[in-house]
Amino acid sequence: MFKVPPDLEGSSVPGTGDDDRRILSSRTCRAVQAVGSPMTGNTLAAVAAMSLFSYVLMAVIAMTTAAAIAALVAGLAAVDRRRTVAAEPAAGTPVVPASPAVPAPPAASGLDPAVVAAISAAIQTVAGGHRIVWIGEAQPSGGWVGEVRAQHHGSHHPHHDR
C-alpha cells in the first residue's frame, strides 16, 4: 500500500478513518501546489510515491482485468465445447447402417459443376486440406466495416485518394 513519508503524514481522509487512504495531508498538498515554492526532497519523494502508488494500482487492476478476460474466454469456450459434445450422438448408440447415396446438398446450386470443381481446386490449393462446405456469392455485410476501417487507417494520406 502507498505509504507517506513520516514527516509528511497528516490526518486521514475525512470520514474514512482508513489508514490505507491516508495519502497526503492537505497542508502538504497546499505546499506542493504553491508554484515556485521551494521543492524539498521530501515533497518530491511524496509525489513520486503517489505516482508509483497510482501506477502499481493501475497495473494490478489491468492484470486483474486480463485475468477476468482469460477466465471469461475459458468459461465461454467450455460452455461452447459442452454444447458441441451434447449435439454429437451419445457413445454406444447403435450405428445406423449407411443409407443409400443421397443427392449432395444444394451447396452450389445454379453453378456449373465445372466451375464448382475449378473453384474448389483453387481454394484447396491456397487454403490447404479443408473441407469446402459452401460456395456462393460473398455476403456484403462485412464490407462496410472494412471500408470504414480502411478509411480510418488511410487518414494520414488523404490526398492519395484523389
Site membership for other proteins, residue 61 (CB under 8 A): yes
- Specify the residue, 16 or 120, whose C-beta has the smaller distance to other proteins: 16
Q: Does residue 48 belong to the site contacting other proteins (CB under 8 A)?
A: yes
DSSP the chain: -----GGG--PPPTTT--GGG----HHHHHHHHSTT----HHHHHHHHHHHHHHHHHHHHHHHHHHHHHHHHHHHHHHHHHHHHHHHSPPTTPPPPPPPPP-PPPSTTTTS-HHHHHHHHHHHHHHH-SPPP----PPPGGGHHHHHHHHHHHGGG-GGGG-
- The amino acid at residue 40 is T
By CB under 8 A, residue 27 contacts other proteins: no
**Shortest Cβ 92–other proteins spacing (Å):** 29
Quick one: which of 11, 33, 99, 139 contacts other proteins (CB under 8 A)?
A: 33
Residue closer to other proteins, measured from CB, 13 or 119: 13
| Closest CB 38 distance from other proteins, rounded Å | 10
69 lies in the binding site for other proteins (CB under 8 A): yes
Q: Using CB under 8 A, list all residues that contact other proteins.
A: 13, 21, 23-24, 26, 29, 32-36, 39, 43-44, 47-48, 50-55, 57-59, 61-63, 65-70, 72-73, 76-77, 144-145, 148-149, 152-153, 155-159
